[in-house]
Amino acid sequence: MAAARWALALARGAAPVALGLLFWVAVAGSEQDRLNTLKGLPEANPEVLAQRRRQNELIMAALREAAETDENVARRPVPWRK
């Protein structure tokens, strides 16, 4: 009797996992589809990558300046430059 209850509990626990795995396999698609999607993203464009790097450099410079000063840089007037 106890073995039958264990088997039933195991089946009830494994069923949602198996169902989720089946859904994941059905929706995930192939590796080739994923690579084609990644190639089509705007981040694959060198100009967009350069702009994003420049934006990240500006953000890091602002964060570095904020870390080095005791002044509250968030309360500065908007067009602030050194």
The 10s digit of each residue's pLDDT in 38-79 is 887 777 778 888 998 999 999 999 888 888 877 776 777 666
pLDDT of 82 higher than 60: no
Residue with tokens 């198996």: 18
Residue 53's pLDDT is 92
For range 32-41, the mean pLDDT: 82
Res. 17 pLDDT band, cuts 50 70 90: very high
pTM comes to 0.42
